[in-house]
Structure 1
Amino acid sequence: MSKAMIGTAVVTGAGTGIGRAAALSLLGAGWTVALLGRRLEPLLETQGLAGSASDHAFPLTADVGDVAGVKAAFAEVQSRFGRLDLLFNNAGRGAPPVEFDEITDEDWLGTVAANLNGAFFCARAAFGIMRRQDPKGGRIINNGSISAHAPRPFSAPYTATKHAITGLTKSIFLDGRAHDIVAGQIDIGNAATPMTERMTKGVPQANGTRMVEERMDVAKVGEAVLHMASLPLEANILTMTIMASKMPFVGRG
Protein backbone atom coordinates (compact mmCIF):
# COMPACT_ATOMS: atom_id res chain seq x y z
CA MET A 1 0.00 0.00 0.00
CA SER A 2 1.35 3.44 -0.92
CA LYS A 3 2.19 5.77 1.92
CA ALA A 4 0.18 8.97 2.40
CA MET A 5 2.04 12.17 1.61
CA ILE A 6 3.52 14.37 4.31
CA GLY A 7 6.20 16.91 3.45
CA THR A 8 6.82 20.60 2.84
CA ALA A 9 4.05 22.85 1.55
CA VAL A 10 3.46 26.44 0.49
CA VAL A 11 0.00 27.87 1.13
CA THR A 12 -0.71 31.25 -0.47
CA GLY A 13 -3.17 33.62 1.13
CA ALA A 14 -2.45 31.83 4.41
CA GLY A 15 -3.27 34.76 6.65
CA THR A 16 -7.06 34.51 6.48
CA GLY A 17 -10.04 32.41 5.48
CA ILE A 18 -9.55 29.34 3.33
CA GLY A 19 -5.76 29.67 3.23
CA ARG A 20 -5.57 29.79 7.00
CA ALA A 21 -7.90 26.78 7.34
CA ALA A 22 -5.86 24.75 4.86
CA ALA A 23 -2.56 25.67 6.50
CA LEU A 24 -3.84 24.68 9.94
CA SER A 25 -5.13 21.34 8.64
CA LEU A 26 -1.80 20.57 6.99
CA LEU A 27 0.17 21.59 10.09
CA GLY A 28 -2.07 19.45 12.28
CA ALA A 29 -1.32 16.44 10.08
CA GLY A 30 2.45 16.88 10.33
CA TRP A 31 3.28 18.97 7.28
CA THR A 32 5.84 21.76 7.32
CA VAL A 33 4.12 24.83 5.87
CA ALA A 34 5.41 28.10 4.44
CA LEU A 35 2.63 30.62 5.09
CA LEU A 36 2.72 33.04 2.17
CA GLY A 37 0.81 36.31 2.11
CA ARG A 38 1.12 40.05 1.58
CA ARG A 39 0.96 41.07 5.25
CA LEU A 40 3.06 39.62 8.05
CA GLU A 41 0.64 40.16 10.94
CA PRO A 42 -2.13 37.80 9.72
CA LEU A 43 0.49 35.17 8.89
CA LEU A 44 1.82 35.37 12.45
CA GLU A 45 -1.76 34.94 13.70
CA THR A 46 -2.11 31.78 11.62
CA GLN A 47 1.18 30.52 12.98
CA GLY A 48 -0.01 31.16 16.53
CA LEU A 49 -3.24 29.26 15.93
CA ALA A 50 -1.22 26.16 14.99
CA GLY A 51 -0.41 25.56 18.67
CA SER A 52 2.19 22.85 19.14
CA ALA A 53 2.71 22.69 15.36
CA SER A 54 3.65 26.37 15.13
CA ASP A 55 7.35 25.46 14.99
CA HIS A 56 6.64 23.95 11.57
CA ALA A 57 4.92 27.09 10.23
CA PHE A 58 7.06 29.75 8.54
CA PRO A 59 5.56 33.13 7.57
CA LEU A 60 6.75 34.43 4.22
CA THR A 61 5.62 37.79 2.82
CA ALA A 62 5.04 38.27 -0.91
CA ASP A 63 2.41 39.59 -3.28
CA VAL A 64 1.56 36.73 -5.66
CA GLY A 65 0.91 39.22 -8.45
CA ASP A 66 4.52 40.43 -8.28
CA VAL A 67 6.67 38.03 -10.26
CA ALA A 68 9.93 39.14 -8.62
CA GLY A 69 8.40 38.71 -5.16
CA VAL A 70 7.16 35.23 -6.02
CA LYS A 71 10.55 34.15 -7.36
CA ALA A 72 12.24 35.41 -4.19
CA ALA A 73 9.72 33.67 -1.93
CA PHE A 74 10.10 30.29 -3.62
CA ALA A 75 13.87 30.66 -3.66
CA GLU A 76 13.65 31.13 0.11
CA VAL A 77 11.51 27.99 0.41
CA GLN A 78 14.02 25.96 -1.59
CA SER A 79 16.93 27.36 0.40
CA ARG A 80 15.30 26.73 3.78
CA PHE A 81 13.73 23.30 3.19
CA GLY A 82 15.61 21.82 0.25
CA ARG A 83 12.43 20.62 -1.47
CA LEU A 84 8.75 21.36 -2.03
CA ASP A 85 6.04 18.70 -2.01
CA LEU A 86 2.84 20.76 -2.16
CA LEU A 87 1.57 24.13 -3.33
CA PHE A 88 -1.93 25.24 -2.43
CA ASN A 89 -2.56 28.13 -4.81
CA ASN A 90 -5.22 29.95 -2.84
CA ALA A 91 -4.54 33.69 -2.79
CA GLY A 92 -7.05 35.80 -4.68
CA ARG A 93 -9.53 38.65 -4.65
CA GLY A 94 -12.83 39.73 -6.07
CA ALA A 95 -14.10 42.94 -7.63
CA PRO A 96 -17.04 45.19 -6.73
CA PRO A 97 -20.39 43.87 -8.08
CA VAL A 98 -21.19 46.47 -10.74
CA GLU A 99 -22.75 46.54 -14.22
CA PHE A 100 -20.42 45.01 -16.80
CA ASP A 101 -19.64 48.33 -18.52
CA GLU A 102 -18.78 49.91 -15.15
CA ILE A 103 -15.97 47.46 -14.33
CA THR A 104 -12.88 49.63 -13.92
CA ASP A 105 -9.54 48.93 -15.53
CA GLU A 106 -8.02 48.77 -12.04
CA ASP A 107 -10.49 46.15 -10.78
CA TRP A 108 -10.14 43.99 -13.91
CA LEU A 109 -6.34 44.12 -13.94
CA GLY A 110 -6.07 43.71 -10.17
CA THR A 111 -8.30 40.63 -10.15
CA VAL A 112 -6.43 39.05 -13.06
CA ALA A 113 -3.10 39.85 -11.39
CA ALA A 114 -4.05 38.16 -8.12
CA ASN A 115 -6.22 35.27 -9.28
CA LEU A 116 -4.64 34.21 -12.57
CA ASN A 117 -1.19 35.74 -12.89
CA GLY A 118 -0.47 34.99 -9.23
CA ALA A 119 -1.59 31.38 -9.56
CA PHE A 120 0.58 30.96 -12.65
CA PHE A 121 3.66 32.63 -11.12
CA CYS A 122 3.44 30.45 -8.01
CA ALA A 123 2.71 27.25 -9.93
CA ARG A 124 5.61 27.92 -12.31
CA ALA A 125 8.00 28.46 -9.41
CA ALA A 126 6.77 25.35 -7.61
CA PHE A 127 6.90 23.25 -10.78
CA GLY A 128 10.53 24.24 -11.31
CA ILE A 129 11.51 23.12 -7.83
CA MET A 130 9.51 19.90 -8.06
CA ARG A 131 10.91 18.97 -11.48
CA ARG A 132 14.54 19.35 -10.41
CA GLN A 133 14.53 18.03 -6.84
CA ASP A 134 15.52 14.49 -5.90
CA PRO A 135 13.29 12.57 -5.66
CA LYS A 136 11.38 14.69 -8.14
CA GLY A 137 7.65 15.31 -8.08
CA GLY A 138 5.00 17.05 -6.04
CA ARG A 139 1.41 18.28 -6.02
CA ILE A 140 -0.18 21.60 -6.96
CA ILE A 141 -3.73 22.30 -5.81
CA ASN A 142 -5.46 25.35 -7.27
CA ASN A 143 -8.38 27.09 -5.61
CA GLY A 144 -10.99 27.29 -8.34
CA SER A 145 -14.44 28.22 -7.05
CA ILE A 146 -18.05 27.45 -7.79
CA SER A 147 -17.54 30.41 -10.15
CA ALA A 148 -15.32 28.16 -12.26
CA HIS A 149 -18.60 26.50 -13.27
CA ALA A 150 -21.34 29.14 -13.01
CA PRO A 151 -21.10 32.91 -12.56
CA ARG A 152 -22.86 35.07 -10.05
CA PRO A 153 -24.42 38.31 -11.29
CA PHE A 154 -21.92 41.16 -11.70
CA SER A 155 -18.82 38.97 -11.29
CA ALA A 156 -17.08 38.98 -14.68
CA PRO A 157 -13.49 39.60 -13.48
CA TYR A 158 -13.65 36.92 -10.77
CA THR A 159 -15.55 34.41 -12.91
CA ALA A 160 -13.23 34.83 -15.91
CA THR A 161 -10.15 34.17 -13.79
CA LYS A 162 -11.70 31.14 -12.12
CA HIS A 163 -12.66 29.61 -15.46
CA ALA A 164 -9.06 30.18 -16.52
CA ILE A 165 -7.81 28.35 -13.42
CA THR A 166 -9.50 25.19 -14.72
CA GLY A 167 -7.43 25.30 -17.90
CA LEU A 168 -4.30 26.10 -15.93
CA THR A 169 -4.89 23.12 -13.63
CA LYS A 170 -5.31 20.70 -16.52
CA SER A 171 -2.22 22.05 -18.28
CA ILE A 172 -0.09 21.64 -15.15
CA PHE A 173 -1.41 18.11 -14.69
CA LEU A 174 -0.61 17.18 -18.30
CA ASP A 175 2.80 18.86 -18.45
CA GLY A 176 3.76 17.46 -15.06
CA ARG A 177 3.11 13.85 -16.01
CA ALA A 178 6.69 13.17 -17.06
CA HIS A 179 8.01 14.63 -13.81
CA ASP A 180 5.69 13.02 -11.22
CA ILE A 181 3.99 16.38 -10.68
CA VAL A 182 0.22 16.20 -10.29
CA ALA A 183 -2.33 19.00 -10.16
CA GLY A 184 -5.89 19.27 -8.91
CA GLN A 185 -8.51 21.91 -8.35
CA ILE A 186 -10.82 22.47 -5.42
CA ASP A 187 -14.00 24.40 -6.19
CA ILE A 188 -15.41 25.92 -3.03
CA GLY A 189 -18.88 27.29 -2.49
CA ASN A 190 -19.86 29.54 0.43
CA ALA A 191 -17.25 28.82 3.07
CA ALA A 192 -17.76 31.02 6.13
CA THR A 193 -14.97 33.57 5.75
CA PRO A 194 -14.85 37.39 5.80
CA MET A 195 -15.10 37.29 1.98
CA THR A 196 -18.59 35.67 2.19
CA GLU A 197 -19.91 37.65 5.15
CA ARG A 198 -22.11 39.63 2.76
CA MET A 199 -24.11 36.48 2.04
CA THR A 200 -25.60 36.61 5.53
CA LYS A 201 -27.33 39.86 4.52
CA GLY A 202 -28.47 38.73 1.08
CA VAL A 203 -26.76 38.69 -2.33
CA PRO A 204 -28.10 39.11 -5.91
CA GLN A 205 -29.50 36.04 -7.63
CA ALA A 206 -29.77 35.25 -11.34
CA ASN A 207 -33.51 35.97 -11.36
CA GLY A 208 -33.00 39.52 -10.09
CA THR A 209 -33.93 38.86 -6.46
CA ARG A 210 -31.72 38.92 -3.38
CA MET A 211 -31.48 36.15 -0.83
CA VAL A 212 -29.47 35.08 2.17
CA GLU A 213 -27.28 32.08 1.32
CA GLU A 214 -26.17 29.23 3.57
CA ARG A 215 -22.48 28.98 4.43
CA MET A 216 -20.35 26.12 5.76
CA ASP A 217 -17.57 25.91 8.32
CA VAL A 218 -14.31 26.90 6.59
CA ALA A 219 -12.48 24.20 8.59
CA LYS A 220 -14.22 21.61 6.39
CA VAL A 221 -12.51 23.15 3.37
CA GLY A 222 -9.18 22.82 5.15
CA GLU A 223 -9.90 19.15 5.75
CA ALA A 224 -10.76 18.68 2.06
CA VAL A 225 -7.48 20.25 0.97
CA LEU A 226 -5.64 17.98 3.40
CA HIS A 227 -7.37 14.94 1.89
CA MET A 228 -6.28 15.93 -1.62
CA ALA A 229 -2.75 16.63 -0.39
CA SER A 230 -2.44 13.37 1.53
CA LEU A 231 -2.83 11.07 -1.48
CA PRO A 232 0.31 9.40 -2.83
CA LEU A 233 1.46 10.88 -6.13
CA GLU A 234 0.21 7.82 -8.00
CA ALA A 235 -3.34 9.06 -7.29
CA ASN A 236 -4.86 12.48 -7.93
CA ILE A 237 -8.15 14.25 -7.38
CA LEU A 238 -8.37 16.37 -10.52
CA THR A 239 -11.45 18.30 -9.37
CA MET A 240 -13.31 18.43 -6.09
CA THR A 241 -16.39 20.52 -5.35
CA ILE A 242 -17.10 21.26 -1.69
CA MET A 243 -20.00 23.52 -0.89
CA ALA A 244 -22.59 24.52 1.65
CA SER A 245 -25.28 21.89 1.16
CA LYS A 246 -28.15 24.37 0.86
CA MET A 247 -26.49 27.06 -1.24
CA PRO A 248 -28.15 27.81 -4.60
CA PHE A 249 -25.72 26.20 -7.04
CA VAL A 250 -27.46 23.09 -8.34
CA GLY A 251 -30.46 24.70 -9.97
CA ARG A 252 -28.94 28.18 -9.97
CA GLY A 253 -30.51 30.54 -12.46
Structure 2
Amino acid sequence: MKAIAAHIALILGLSSPALAVTCSDTGGQYEAWKPLMAAEAEAAGVGRRGIEALMATRYSKATIGADRNQKSFRYSLEKFLEVRGADAIVSIGRKRKAQNPDFYAALERQYGVPAGVLIAIHGMETGFGNFMGDTNVVSAIATLSYDCRRSDFFTPHLIAALKLVDQGTISPATVGAKHGELGHTQFLPGNALTYGVDGNGDGRVDLTDLVDAMASTANFLRQKGWRPGAGYQEGQPNFAVIEEWNAATVYQQAIALMGARIDG
Protein backbone atom coordinates (compact mmCIF):
# COMPACT_ATOMS: atom_id res chain seq x y z
CA MET A 1 0.00 0.00 0.00
CA LYS A 2 2.86 2.41 0.75
CA ALA A 3 4.26 1.70 -2.69
CA ILE A 4 0.89 2.45 -4.29
CA ALA A 5 0.56 5.71 -2.38
CA ALA A 6 4.11 6.72 -3.29
CA HIS A 7 3.41 5.95 -6.94
CA ILE A 8 0.26 8.08 -6.85
CA ALA A 9 2.12 10.97 -5.28
CA LEU A 10 4.93 10.67 -7.84
CA ILE A 11 2.49 10.71 -10.76
CA LEU A 12 0.79 13.82 -9.48
CA GLY A 13 3.89 15.59 -8.28
CA LEU A 14 2.28 15.97 -4.89
CA SER A 15 3.95 17.36 -1.84
CA SER A 16 2.40 17.78 1.56
CA PRO A 17 -0.34 18.86 1.96
CA ALA A 18 -1.97 16.66 -0.69
CA LEU A 19 -4.24 18.12 -3.33
CA ALA A 20 -7.94 17.88 -2.55
CA VAL A 21 -10.18 15.55 -4.54
CA THR A 22 -12.41 17.60 -6.84
CA CYS A 23 -15.56 16.67 -8.76
CA SER A 24 -16.46 17.45 -12.36
CA ASP A 25 -19.59 17.66 -14.50
CA THR A 26 -17.98 15.89 -17.47
CA GLY A 27 -15.80 12.83 -17.86
CA GLY A 28 -12.78 14.72 -19.12
CA GLN A 29 -10.85 14.73 -15.84
CA TYR A 30 -11.86 11.27 -14.65
CA GLU A 31 -8.48 9.61 -15.18
CA ALA A 32 -6.71 12.43 -13.32
CA TRP A 33 -9.26 12.16 -10.50
CA LYS A 34 -8.75 8.44 -9.89
CA PRO A 35 -5.33 8.62 -8.20
CA LEU A 36 -6.50 11.52 -6.03
CA MET A 37 -9.51 9.47 -4.98
CA ALA A 38 -7.27 6.46 -4.44
CA ALA A 39 -5.20 8.40 -1.92
CA GLU A 40 -8.37 9.44 -0.08
CA ALA A 41 -9.64 5.86 -0.14
CA GLU A 42 -6.37 4.53 1.25
CA ALA A 43 -6.58 7.05 4.08
CA ALA A 44 -10.10 5.75 4.78
CA GLY A 45 -8.78 2.20 5.20
CA VAL A 46 -9.20 0.73 1.74
CA GLY A 47 -6.67 -1.98 0.97
CA ARG A 48 -4.68 -2.97 -2.09
CA ARG A 49 -7.43 -4.88 -3.89
CA GLY A 50 -9.88 -2.01 -3.45
CA ILE A 51 -7.38 0.55 -4.74
CA GLU A 52 -6.61 -1.61 -7.76
CA ALA A 53 -10.34 -1.93 -8.46
CA LEU A 54 -10.74 1.86 -8.35
CA MET A 55 -7.80 2.42 -10.67
CA ALA A 56 -9.29 -0.05 -13.16
CA THR A 57 -12.65 1.75 -13.36
CA ARG A 58 -13.98 3.60 -16.36
CA TYR A 59 -16.23 6.65 -16.49
CA SER A 60 -19.74 5.26 -16.92
CA LYS A 61 -21.76 7.25 -19.43
CA ALA A 62 -24.66 4.84 -18.89
CA THR A 63 -24.71 5.76 -15.20
CA ILE A 64 -24.65 9.49 -15.89
CA GLY A 65 -27.43 9.09 -18.44
CA ALA A 66 -29.60 7.23 -15.95
CA ASP A 67 -28.89 9.74 -13.20
CA ARG A 68 -29.94 12.63 -15.40
CA ASN A 69 -33.19 11.03 -16.56
CA GLN A 70 -35.08 9.78 -13.52
CA LYS A 71 -38.57 10.67 -14.72
CA SER A 72 -40.80 8.13 -13.02
CA PHE A 73 -40.56 9.77 -9.60
CA ARG A 74 -42.29 12.84 -11.03
CA TYR A 75 -45.45 10.83 -11.69
CA SER A 76 -48.58 10.92 -9.59
CA LEU A 77 -48.97 7.92 -7.30
CA GLU A 78 -51.64 6.44 -9.58
CA LYS A 79 -49.43 6.78 -12.65
CA PHE A 80 -46.38 5.48 -10.80
CA LEU A 81 -48.26 2.35 -9.67
CA GLU A 82 -49.42 1.77 -13.24
CA VAL A 83 -45.97 2.26 -14.78
CA ARG A 84 -44.27 0.04 -12.22
CA GLY A 85 -46.81 -2.75 -12.63
CA ALA A 86 -48.18 -2.74 -9.09
CA ASP A 87 -51.01 -5.19 -9.77
CA ALA A 88 -48.58 -7.74 -11.21
CA ILE A 89 -46.18 -7.29 -8.29
CA VAL A 90 -49.00 -7.88 -5.81
CA SER A 91 -50.27 -10.94 -7.68
CA ILE A 92 -46.84 -12.52 -7.96
CA GLY A 93 -45.97 -11.43 -4.44
CA ARG A 94 -48.98 -13.21 -2.95
CA LYS A 95 -47.99 -16.40 -4.74
CA ARG A 96 -44.40 -16.16 -3.54
CA LYS A 97 -45.55 -15.69 0.03
CA ALA A 98 -47.95 -18.64 -0.22
CA GLN A 99 -45.25 -20.85 -1.72
CA ASN A 100 -42.73 -20.15 1.05
CA PRO A 101 -44.63 -19.03 4.16
CA ASP A 102 -42.14 -20.44 6.65
CA PHE A 103 -39.29 -18.42 5.15
CA TYR A 104 -41.12 -15.11 5.47
CA ALA A 105 -42.51 -16.00 8.89
CA ALA A 106 -38.99 -16.69 10.12
CA LEU A 107 -37.81 -13.31 8.85
CA GLU A 108 -40.67 -11.58 10.61
CA ARG A 109 -39.92 -13.41 13.86
CA GLN A 110 -36.27 -12.35 13.70
CA TYR A 111 -36.58 -8.80 12.39
CA GLY A 112 -40.22 -7.83 12.91
CA VAL A 113 -40.78 -6.87 9.27
CA PRO A 114 -43.85 -8.44 7.61
CA ALA A 115 -43.57 -10.38 4.38
CA GLY A 116 -45.60 -7.89 2.32
CA VAL A 117 -43.06 -5.09 2.74
CA LEU A 118 -40.09 -7.28 1.87
CA ILE A 119 -41.85 -8.82 -1.11
CA ALA A 120 -43.03 -5.42 -2.39
CA ILE A 121 -39.48 -4.10 -2.23
CA HIS A 122 -38.19 -7.20 -4.03
CA GLY A 123 -40.77 -6.82 -6.79
CA MET A 124 -40.22 -3.09 -7.18
CA GLU A 125 -36.44 -3.25 -7.23
CA THR A 126 -35.69 -6.14 -9.58
CA GLY A 127 -38.95 -7.79 -10.63
CA PHE A 128 -38.25 -10.54 -8.07
CA GLY A 129 -34.66 -10.97 -9.18
CA ASN A 130 -35.37 -11.10 -12.91
CA PHE A 131 -33.08 -8.15 -13.59
CA MET A 132 -30.41 -7.13 -11.10
CA GLY A 133 -28.46 -4.83 -13.42
CA ASP A 134 -25.92 -4.78 -16.22
CA THR A 135 -23.48 -2.08 -15.12
CA ASN A 136 -20.10 -2.47 -13.45
CA VAL A 137 -20.72 -1.59 -9.80
CA VAL A 138 -17.35 -0.05 -8.93
CA SER A 139 -17.26 2.05 -12.11
CA ALA A 140 -20.83 3.23 -11.55
CA ILE A 141 -20.23 4.30 -7.96
CA ALA A 142 -16.86 5.86 -8.82
CA THR A 143 -18.48 7.85 -11.62
CA LEU A 144 -21.16 9.18 -9.28
CA SER A 145 -18.55 10.06 -6.68
CA TYR A 146 -16.57 11.94 -9.33
CA ASP A 147 -19.64 13.70 -10.73
CA CYS A 148 -20.47 16.98 -8.99
CA ARG A 149 -24.22 16.40 -8.86
CA ARG A 150 -24.18 14.14 -5.79
CA SER A 151 -20.52 13.61 -5.00
CA ASP A 152 -20.94 14.03 -1.25
CA PHE A 153 -23.63 11.36 -1.16
CA PHE A 154 -21.86 8.78 -3.33
CA THR A 155 -18.25 9.10 -2.12
CA PRO A 156 -18.95 7.15 1.11
CA HIS A 157 -20.62 4.48 -1.01
CA LEU A 158 -17.52 4.34 -3.20
CA ILE A 159 -15.30 3.83 -0.16
CA ALA A 160 -17.68 1.07 0.95
CA ALA A 161 -17.63 -0.57 -2.48
CA LEU A 162 -13.84 -0.67 -2.40
CA LYS A 163 -13.93 -2.22 1.07
CA LEU A 164 -16.39 -4.82 -0.22
CA VAL A 165 -13.82 -5.66 -2.89
CA ASP A 166 -11.15 -5.95 -0.20
CA GLN A 167 -13.39 -8.37 1.70
CA GLY A 168 -14.21 -10.43 -1.35
CA THR A 169 -17.92 -9.67 -0.99
CA ILE A 170 -17.90 -8.24 -4.52
CA SER A 171 -15.24 -8.30 -7.22
CA PRO A 172 -14.00 -5.56 -9.56
CA ALA A 173 -16.18 -7.21 -12.23
CA THR A 174 -19.44 -7.34 -10.22
CA VAL A 175 -22.43 -5.90 -12.07
CA GLY A 176 -25.47 -4.18 -10.63
CA ALA A 177 -27.85 -1.35 -11.43
CA LYS A 178 -26.91 1.93 -13.09
CA HIS A 179 -26.26 3.62 -9.73
CA GLY A 180 -24.17 0.70 -8.44
CA GLU A 181 -26.95 -1.00 -6.50
CA LEU A 182 -26.45 -4.68 -5.70
CA GLY A 183 -28.54 -7.81 -5.71
CA HIS A 184 -32.20 -8.75 -5.39
CA THR A 185 -33.22 -5.60 -3.53
CA GLN A 186 -30.57 -3.24 -4.87
CA PHE A 187 -28.44 -2.26 -1.90
CA LEU A 188 -26.06 0.64 -2.36
CA PRO A 189 -22.56 -0.47 -1.32
CA GLY A 190 -22.53 1.53 1.92
CA ASN A 191 -25.75 -0.15 2.99
CA ALA A 192 -24.48 -3.55 1.90
CA LEU A 193 -21.38 -3.07 4.02
CA THR A 194 -23.34 -1.87 7.06
CA TYR A 195 -26.54 -3.93 6.94
CA GLY A 196 -25.73 -6.96 4.83
CA VAL A 197 -26.14 -10.26 6.71
CA ASP A 198 -25.41 -13.91 5.97
CA GLY A 199 -28.95 -15.24 5.95
CA ASN A 200 -28.21 -18.72 4.63
CA GLY A 201 -25.29 -19.44 6.95
CA ASP A 202 -22.66 -20.09 4.29
CA GLY A 203 -20.18 -17.67 5.84
CA ARG A 204 -20.50 -14.83 3.33
CA VAL A 205 -22.91 -12.07 2.39
CA ASP A 206 -24.12 -12.47 -1.19
CA LEU A 207 -26.91 -10.10 -2.14
CA THR A 208 -27.54 -12.03 -5.36
CA ASP A 209 -28.63 -14.90 -3.09
CA LEU A 210 -32.32 -14.53 -2.24
CA VAL A 211 -32.00 -15.58 1.40
CA ASP A 212 -29.13 -13.21 2.11
CA ALA A 213 -30.88 -10.39 0.25
CA MET A 214 -34.19 -10.76 2.08
CA ALA A 215 -32.50 -11.08 5.48
CA SER A 216 -30.33 -8.05 4.73
CA THR A 217 -33.37 -6.01 3.66
CA ALA A 218 -35.23 -6.94 6.84
CA ASN A 219 -32.12 -6.12 8.88
CA PHE A 220 -31.80 -2.71 7.20
CA LEU A 221 -35.40 -1.84 8.06
CA ARG A 222 -35.10 -3.09 11.63
CA GLN A 223 -31.85 -1.20 12.21
CA LYS A 224 -33.48 1.94 10.83
CA GLY A 225 -36.12 1.73 13.54
CA TRP A 226 -38.82 -0.69 12.38
CA ARG A 227 -41.26 -1.37 15.21
CA PRO A 228 -42.59 -4.95 15.11
CA GLY A 229 -46.37 -5.02 14.97
CA ALA A 230 -46.78 -1.31 14.22
CA GLY A 231 -48.43 -0.08 11.04
CA TYR A 232 -46.50 1.03 7.96
CA GLN A 233 -48.99 3.11 5.98
CA GLU A 234 -48.60 6.90 5.75
CA GLY A 235 -49.07 8.42 9.18
CA GLN A 236 -48.21 5.17 10.96
CA PRO A 237 -44.93 4.57 12.85
CA ASN A 238 -43.13 2.38 10.33
CA PHE A 239 -43.77 4.56 7.28
CA ALA A 240 -40.84 6.69 8.43
CA VAL A 241 -38.65 3.59 8.10
CA ILE A 242 -39.85 2.95 4.55
CA GLU A 243 -38.77 6.52 3.83
CA GLU A 244 -35.24 5.41 4.71
CA TRP A 245 -35.32 2.85 1.89
CA ASN A 246 -36.00 5.31 -0.93
CA ALA A 247 -36.17 9.09 -1.00
CA ALA A 248 -39.03 9.36 -3.51
CA THR A 249 -42.46 9.85 -1.94
CA VAL A 250 -44.33 7.88 -4.63
CA TYR A 251 -41.93 4.98 -4.18
CA GLN A 252 -42.50 4.97 -0.41
CA GLN A 253 -46.25 5.10 -0.88
CA ALA A 254 -46.13 2.29 -3.43
CA ILE A 255 -44.18 -0.02 -1.12
CA ALA A 256 -46.65 0.60 1.71
CA LEU A 257 -49.74 0.08 -0.45
CA MET A 258 -48.44 -3.03 -2.22
CA GLY A 259 -47.14 -4.49 1.02
CA ALA A 260 -50.59 -4.22 2.59
CA ARG A 261 -52.22 -5.86 -0.41
CA ILE A 262 -49.71 -8.72 -0.37
CA ASP A 263 -50.21 -9.27 3.36
CA GLY A 264 -53.97 -8.79 3.17
- TM-score normalised by the chain length of structure 2: 0.23
Larger Rg: 2
**TM-score, normalising length from structure 1?**
0.23
Q: Flag the structure with higher helix content.
A: 2
Tell me which protein shows more strand as a share of its residues.
1
